[in-house]
Amino acid sequence: MEQFLREMHPDYYNFTEEVSMLAEIITDYVSLVLVFDMEEDSDLDGYMISSLLASAGTTTPPDQLNLEQLEITLTLNRADIAREKIFLENKRWKKGHLNDYMYQALMSDRHDFVKIFLEQGFSLEEFLTVYMLEKLYTDQLKSMSSKVAIFNKMWEYHRSHRQATKVTLRDVGKIIKSLVGDFYHPLYLSKEFQAKLAPEKIELT
């Protein structure tokens, strides 16, 4: 290495201490070092993310899904890396462990991650409870993105209570009905659906 550095930089001897420190760090953390060829490779982001993944969730058992790595790829929106390096065959996870990640994917419009979760057997039927649906609608409004601006205006007009801060499925049903017209009756306004939402009556004995 010294010979190489002498050839690359004539002032090498002025930085021997720094070079020695760098060499020691590389030796100690060689598993985190990746060589990137700028002339042949174009996905520098992918290499950087792969380096981050190498140090994430190191205590995760090899047969378990590495949730720390999943968090990194989801945050950086790299579903391709998640599919290639995280969701491998024979990886297991406990029921409910992916719920927060599905919520994050839906809120952030990470469609490719939603697709991966469904391919891996994620159950939307179990995930999309009334509570979760109302939470998704409400939190989307709080994000104040331009995509929900019209919905926000209509919700303020149709919401069940003037001071309400939470979107209910009944509110959503009213908005759908106002948009589509009387020829369509939304599920959320049907008597059958409302009956499911009603609290069970407890008979006093």
Q: Does some domain include residue 175?
A: yes
The whole-angstrom separation of Cα 67 and Cα 71 is: 6
8 sits in which H/E element: helix 2-8
pLDDT greater than 90 at residue 98: yes
Structure tokens at 140: 């989307």
The band of 181, judged by pLDDT with boundaries at 50, 70 and 90, is confident
Q: Render pLDDT for 23-40 as a digit per residue (tens, 0 to 9).
A: 787 788 776 666 666 666
Q: Render pLDDT for 99-142 as a digit per residue (tens, 0 to 9).
A: 999 999 999 999 999 999 999 999 999 999 999 999 999 998 88
Structure tokens at 176: 């759908």
Q: Does some domain include residue 124?
A: no
For the chain, give the number of residues: 205
Q: Which amino acid is at 5?
A: L
Q: Does some domain include residue 170?
A: yes
Share of the chain above pLDDT 70, in %: 77
Q: Does some domain include residue 190?
A: yes
Q: Does some domain include residue 42?
A: no
How many Cβ atoms from other residues are within 10 Å of residue 199's Cβ?
5
Q: Does some domain include residue 23?
A: no
Count of domains for the chain: 1
Q: Which domain holds residue 157?
A: 129-204
Q: Does some domain include residue 29?
A: no
Q: Does some domain include residue 47?
A: no
